[in-house]
Amino acid sequence: MAVKDVTDSDFKEAVLNADKPVIVDFWAPWCQPCKRIAPVLEQFSEDRDDVEFVKINVDDNPTTTLNYSITSIPTVARFEGGEITQQAVGALPKAQLSQQLGL
């Protein structure tokens, strides 16, 4: 399964109303650290079918970015039941990302 793009308009349905945990990558195309962790998240998405993986471009989707007070990217957050339960900030190594996101 690939990491899907979400937007302000479908964030609620895709993430908050999901029936399983969702890992959300808050990123931007100009962000080099974001580009470094993208393949790691793709790999996680291939290995895990009990968790959804999505990404949201912070430049194009300011409402969601502001709603969750995202001030640094990459920020990767685990949502369960419509709430952030775990979060990782920065281009962390795969093992550390896994640990901080409960993967």
| pLDDT at residue 54, rounded to an integer | 98
Burial of 18 (0-12, 13-18, 19+ CB in 10 A): middle
Closest CA to 92 of 71, 68, 74: 74
| pLDDT at residue 2, rounded to an integer | 84
User: How many C-beta atoms lie closer than 10 Å to residue 60's C-beta?
Assistant: 13
Mean pLDDT of 36-61: 96
**pLDDT per residue as tens digits for the range 58-88:** 999 999 999 999 999 999 999 999 999 999 9
Which domains are seen in the chain, by residue range? 4-101 (3.40.30.10)
pTM: predicted TM-score of the whole model, two decimal places: 0.96
| pLDDT at residue 1, rounded to an integer | 65
Percent of the chain at pLDDT exceeding 90: 97
> Is 61 one of the annotated active-site residues of the chain?
no
Residue 63 phi, psi (nearest 5): -65, -50
H-helix or E-strand spanning residue 62 = helix 62-67
Catalytic residue among 3, 22, 23, 34: 34
> Is 50 one of the annotated active-site residues of the chain?
no
**pLDDT reading at 21 higher than 90:** yes
Average pLDDT value over all residues in the chain: 96
Catalytic residue among 15, 31, 58, 103: 31
